[in-house]
Amino acid sequence: MSRVSAVLAEDEAPQREALVELLGELWPELELCAVCEDGLSALEALAAHRPQLAILDIRMPGLSGLEVARSAIAGGARVLFTTAYDEYAVRAFEAGAVDYVLKPLRRDRLELALERVRERLQQRQAPSGLPERLGPAESGTLQWITAQLGDSVRLVGIEEVLYFQSQDKLTRVVTGQGEALIRTPLKELVAQLDSQQFWQVHRSVVVRVAQIRAFEKNELGRHELCLRDRPERLPVAQAFAARLRSM
């Protein structure tokens, strides 16, 4: 990827210095146009440089990172938040962040967040705030999901999802990088998914069509799907078998 411009805002000097150093190691092509100590300075830097990325501490003197993010997104920038408070995660995503990283910063977690930023930049999609944590886009199909991963919350783009599967009273969201759980029932998700991209092949499974590698019977004579990017096999109900045979 070509050089990417960024503005960084962090009010604590040790954290700011550590972050600048880590960014230099993990993303040498990243060009820091400005390194700011408070929200107001960050806002001024955004206006002056119009960067592609804003890396913002959520709690800063004057203007908070959440307030600064509104201007960053309006100017077309992606936003990555840093915070010492995990309870800000959902608010970060609602503000339109690509990801957030907890302090004290961990190298592996920051590296993962930066990879997500690069993916979003390559998609060339305009960032937008999320008025709902789980909801349809204007086209009527779901675009984003806020999912629980252990003790953290992550924003998952629908383009990352390989399949959904009911699990007790929750729904598993399986991607190429792992899986997460959401509370939305599968039957509610189906109504919001693009039917050209996702098929419900079983009462408990909805799969991305492009992920289907093979359709076959197991040793018990039951239909199953083999996926392109996952080793597990997914069950197929008899009612959906006819559609899959026509592929």
**What confidence tens digit (pLDDT) does each residue in 85-95 have?**
766 666 666 66
8 A C-beta contact, residue 105 and residue 22:
yes
8 A C-beta contact, residue 32 and residue 42:
no
- Report the CATH fold assignment for 134-245: OB fold (Dihydrolipoamide Acetyltransferase, E2P) (2.40.50)
As beta bridge partners, residue 147 has: 154
Look at residue 15 in the predicted model and tell me its pLDDT: 93
What value, to the nearest 5°, has the Cα angle with vertex 140 and ends 147 and 137? 50
**What confidence tens digit (pLDDT) does each residue in 41-69 have?**
998 999 899 999 999 999 888 788 888 88
Structural class in CATH, domain 4-123: alpha beta
Domain ranges of the chain: 4-123, 134-245
8 A C-beta contact, residue 149 and residue 158:
no
User: 3-state class of 16 per DSSP?
Assistant: helix
Ramachandran assignment for 122, one of left (phi > 0), alpha (psi -120 to 50 degrees), beta (any other): alpha
8 A C-beta contact, residue 176 and residue 162:
yes
Q: Which two structure tokens, joined as six digits, stand for 63?
A: 């203007």
Ranges under pLDDT 50 in the chain: 125-139
Look at residue 34 in the predicted model and tell me its pLDDT: 96
Look at residue 91 in the predicted model and tell me its pLDDT: 66
Look at residue 242 in the predicted model and tell me its pLDDT: 65
**What confidence tens digit (pLDDT) does each residue in 69-82 have?**
888 887 889 999 99
Whole-model pTM? 0.54
Q: Which two structure tokens, joined as six digits, stand for 212?
A: 């289907």
